[in-house]
């Protein structure tokens, strides 16, 4: 099947440019105004931005595969710096097998235990912030909180975890193109990979955390021990940066909308709704990629296989 290049709506917008990243929403509006399907010539990728099309792309994994990777790098053609995630970057039925193992960890009891531990840490961090009088929201609260509670829940012993921020930068940097800042992080790939690898080992984890429960599923034969290690890694990849960003963006939104901050101070029971709304208002994860697996027609345009689709 031939791609009907003549009928493509093409844009030279670069979603990874500084100006786009500084103000993504006006750029999204520009892209949406161009129609339901736009070809970004700079990267040779399709972009869909409207709800109906995004929903189709995100749910039709047979035509829009996850196995090509969650970012710009197309695993069908290139290698990423780390092994693909076996929960994010994989299609059913493999995905269902790994997802089942993870979902089983989140029983009401396990969530309750996490809630208590997370609350305790949050309260003590807030208490020391108040005692300090003046704080930097991001470096004193927003960043340290997920860096403590998530690895704790996984079963990582207390140790210097700062390298995890470098790892997070590398994981999420890999969702975009090569840039000087990403290249700089990648220069530490060997050291960071070795650290993450070592700390996801069963022997490096406590025997009562989420990590131990994942290894128990491997003992039962549902997944291999190597897969267990990659699922532990997924907790450390997916949970930390996204949560730091979500809380940080929430604080920024409140700072930029003092009347909302005032309403929240007036009625702290609004905190949960405010945080949830903030994750919709300015989300930490704004785009994902799929890769087409075959040639087909979509929105009146022909798609060639193994093309990236960004939404």
Sites of contact with ligand OVM (CB under 6 A): 85, 87-88, 171, 234, 237-238, 285
User: From the CB of 84, what's the least distance to ligand OVM, in Å?
Assistant: 8
Task: Report the SS3 class of residue 13.
Answer: coil
The nearer residue to ligand OVM, 192 or 238, going by C-beta atoms, is 238
User: From the CB of 187, what's the least distance to ligand OVM, in Å?
Assistant: 21
The nearer residue to ligand OVM, 84 or 209, going by C-beta atoms, is 84
- Please list, residue by residue across 105-141, b when 16 or more beta carbons sit within 10 angstroms of its beta carbon and e when fewer do: beeeeeeeebeeebeebeeebeeeeeeeeeeebeeeb
User: From the CB of 238, what's the least distance to ligand OVM, in Å?
Assistant: 3
User: From the CB of 175, what's the least distance to ligand OVM, in Å?
Assistant: 8
The nearer residue to ligand OVM, 46 or 167, going by C-beta atoms, is 167
Place of tokens 């009928």: 7
The nearer residue to ligand OVM, 38 or 196, going by C-beta atoms, is 196
Give one DSSP letter per residue of 148-185, joined into a string: HHHHHHHTPPS---THHHHHHHHHHHTTS---HHHHHH
- Burial grade of 310 (CB within 10 A; 0-12, 13-18, 19 or more): buried
Strands 296-298 and 289-292, by their bridges, are unpaired
User: From the CB of 4, what's the least distance to ligand OVM, in Å?
Assistant: 33
User: From the CB of 259, what's the least distance to ligand OVM, in Å?
Assistant: 32
Phi, psi for residue 125 in degrees, rounded to 5:
-65, -40
Q: How far is CA 222 from the centre of its chain?
A: 25
Contact 144, 171 (CB under 8 A): no
Which structure tokens are listed for 285?
A: 């994860």
């Amino acid at each position: 099947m031939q791609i009907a290049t003549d009928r493509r709506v093409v844009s030279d917008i670069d979603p990874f440019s500084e100006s786009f990243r500084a103000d993504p929403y006006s750029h999204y509006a520009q892209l949406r105004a161009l129609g339901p399907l736009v070809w970004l010539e700079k990267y040779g990728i399709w972009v869909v931005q409207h709800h109906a099309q995004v929903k189709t792309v995100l749910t039709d994994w047979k035509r829009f595969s996850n196995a090509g990777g969650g970012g710009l790098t197309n695993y069908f053609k290139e290698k990423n710096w780390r092994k693909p995630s076996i929960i994010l970057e994989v299609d059913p039925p493999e995905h269902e097998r790994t997802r089942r193992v993870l979902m089983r960890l989140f029983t009401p009891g396990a969530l309750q235990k996490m809630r208590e531990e997370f609350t305790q840490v949050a309260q003590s961090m807030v208490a020391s912030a108040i005692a300090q009088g003046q704080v930097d929201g991001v470096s004193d609260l927003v960043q340290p909180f997920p860096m403590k509670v998530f690895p704790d829940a996984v079963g990582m012993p207390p140790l210097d975890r700062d390298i995890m921020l470098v790892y997070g930068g590398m994981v999420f940097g890999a969702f975009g193109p090569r840039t000087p800042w990403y290249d700089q992080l990648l220069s530490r790939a060997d050291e960071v990979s070795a650290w993450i690898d070592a700390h996801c080992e069963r022997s490096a984890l406590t025997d009562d955390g989420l990590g131990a429960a994942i290894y128990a599923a491997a003992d039962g034969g549902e997944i291999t021990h190597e897969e267990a290690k990659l699922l532990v890694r997924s907790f450390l990849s997916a949970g930390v940066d996204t949560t730091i960003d979500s809380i940080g963006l929430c604080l920024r939104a409140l700072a930029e909308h003092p009347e909302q901050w005032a309403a929240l101070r007036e009625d702290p029971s609004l905190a949960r709704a405010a945080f949830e709304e903030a994750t919709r208002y300015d989300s930490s994860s704004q785009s994902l990629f799929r890769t087409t697996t075959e040639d087909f027609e979509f929105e009146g345009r022909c798609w060639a296989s193994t093309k990236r689709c960004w939404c």
